[in-house]
Amino acid sequence: MGHGGQVLLSQTTASLLDDEDQLPDIVLRDLGEHKLKDISRPVRLYQLDISGLRSMFPRLKLSEPPRPNRRKRAALGGVGLLVAGLTTVALALTLRDEPPPAVLPNSLVRINPMTLEPTQVVPIGNTPDLVVSAGGFVWMTHHVLRDIDSAALRDAGDRTLTRVDPTTSEVVVVGGGLAPCGLAADPSGDVWVANCFAVGADRDTNVVRIDATTLGFEATWPVPGGDGFYRGLAYGGGSLWVSEVLGDNPPQSHSVTQVDPLTGALRSIALAHAATALAWSEGYGDLWLSNFFVGSVSRMHAATESLDIVDAGVRSPGQIAIDGENVWVADWAVGQMARLNAISPTVPRTVNLPTSNRASGVWNVATGHGYVWATTPRDGALWRIDPTTEDVVRVTLPHLPTGVATDAGGVWVTVRGD
């Protein structure tokens, strides 16, 4: 009956929590009595509101209107355990009888991180790829990630930014003439978009901060351009970090741009190699950069601009994800991941993904729910990696998984058509 991110409690559980006096950040919201499947009596439900998390949700699914509570809580105490037990059995049977939704081409798919089954499928535009979670929404670009020889740079306006509301599956295409080539979440819940325009498009490259709710452009700042279709984007340490534009050839300049998100002031920091994907290490104040063309990664300490170049342990370093002391680097060329230590990245460990096609490289990587997640679209798979044991589990999808991100509700995967 609930929605993604919503926690529902029975009368019995709510009664137990209501007796606790050490839960200052938890509020029980009475949702009234509702008719549950296979239970003759209405069941009173409560919503668990936790400070800092979303508390407003649409009406409960398949629910009759709430009924007034004509019984005292004390009178329900004796039958609470029976009702809770029946409710558990009924819900278990319902979930078992309902098959997971079919994964469609060109869709956003939510995966349960434990069962690895899809729980929500939202059809979206063609060729989705980069995906982030921000402001209670899921955001994705289209036709950004690709093999270099698969397509030429498309003209301005041909690429798209899409926002999906997980609670309603509402899909909104963000207008305003965007040509996204990079995507990053802002701590406020807004989202940053890097725009790359084709040569001759009479448009300068820029970064735009988009309000998650209103979709208004909160700030637009020009950044150095280039001929290409992808650039790394990351927020960290109070700054927005922007790599060069990646195209068919390595960028001529080797630098990363630091943007003041409030004023748009730019600072260019020289690098030893061209940077592609970016990731911020919150615990150490470091910016990690993949050096796709030379097979290394770089760690730059933002406060001092000191730069360490590290052998990535993979052939073509691509996307980067950081979880505490672990830095995970995707290999765009083959099915493997590199694992580095954020403090002392001297000896990388390689985690092989048993793809059926060894040339199935990793397009995207994310961390969340205690695991590392990676996509290999040429092999039609999402991978779950246990960082403790490095055990790898394959999640086969009927279409091509490209981007991956996580939030409290699960694992989000963008799936392209074959």
Which strand ranges, in their side-by-side order, compose the sheet holding 371-376? 364-368, 371-376, 381-385, 392-396
Transcribe 158-169 into DSSP letters: SS-EEEEETTTT
> For each of the chain's 418 residues, which pLDDT tens digit applies?
787 778 888 877 877 776 555 566 677 777 877 777 667 677 888 888 776 566 666 667 764 444 444 333 333 344 344 444 444 444 444 444 578 999 999 999 999 999 999 999 999 999 999 999 999 999 999 988 876 544 443 443 457 899 999 999 999 999 888 999 999 999 999 999 999 887 666 778 999 999 999 999 999 999 998 888 899 999 999 999 999 998 767 777 799 999 999 999 999 999 999 999 999 998 899 999 999 999 999 999 999 999 999 988 899 999 999 999 999 999 999 999 999 999 887 789 999 999 998 789 999 999 999 999 999 999 999 999 999 999 999 999 999 999 999 999 999 999 998 7
Instruction: Please state, in angstroms and rounded to a whole number, the distance separating the CA atoms of residues 203 and 206.
Output: 9
* Phi, psi angles (nearest 5°) of residue 78: -70, -30
CA distances in angstroms from 408 to 53, 190, 368, 369, listed in the order given: 9, 17, 9, 8
Instruction: Please state, in angstroms and rounded to a whole number, the distance separating the CA atoms of residues 346 and 305.
Output: 19
Q: With the C-alpha atoms ordered 57, 63, 68, 74, is the resulting torsion angle positive or negative?
A: negative
- Three-class SS state of 344: coil
Would you list the domain boundaries of the chain? 8-97, 107-416
Instruction: Please state, in angstroms and rounded to a whole number, the distance separating the CA atoms of residues 380 and 105.
Output: 12
Strands (E), 203-295: 206-210, 217-222, 233-236, 239-242, 255-259, 266-270, 278-281, 286-291
> Contact, 322 vs 342, CB < 8 A?
yes
CATH number corresponding to 107-416: 2.120.10.30
Query: What pTM was computed for the model?
Result: 0.76
Task: Give pLDDT, residue 195.
Answer: 93
> Contact, 117 vs 135, CB < 8 A?
no
Residue 75 is classified by DSSP as H
Instruction: Please state, in angstroms and rounded to a whole number, the distance separating the CA atoms of residues 274 and 377.
Output: 25
